[in-house]
Amino acid sequence: AGVAAMAEGEGLLSVDYEVSGKVQGVFFRKYTQGEAKRLGLVGWVQNTSHGTVQGQVQGPAARVRELQEWLRKTGSPQSRISRAEFRNEKKIEVLEHGDFQIVK
């Protein structure tokens, strides 16, 4: 009930992301998952074949914005982020994921 109550009034957002730079082999997915869970967000993260990290995040708008900022500027301690792109941002009625997973 906590998440539903928190989401009322500000709405839920879903957004796809892709982060470029030195983001593979530096625990970027693990840290992204940790940060997303800390913020109470759901979604997924995976490495791509072209050296980026991509995924989707869903949750209360303000929290999604916090993770976007984190993906843009912070990342994992050893990562070097050159670019974070966000697309397919949309308002959703219900969360489409049960938690935040690392996809192989």
Could you give the residue numbers annotated as active site? 29, 47
Helix (H, G, I), strand (E, B), or coil: what is residue 82?
strand
Q: 41 in the Ramachandran plot: left (φ > 0), alpha (ψ -120 to 50) or beta?
A: beta
Contacts of 96 (CB under 8 A, 6+ apart): 14, 42, 58
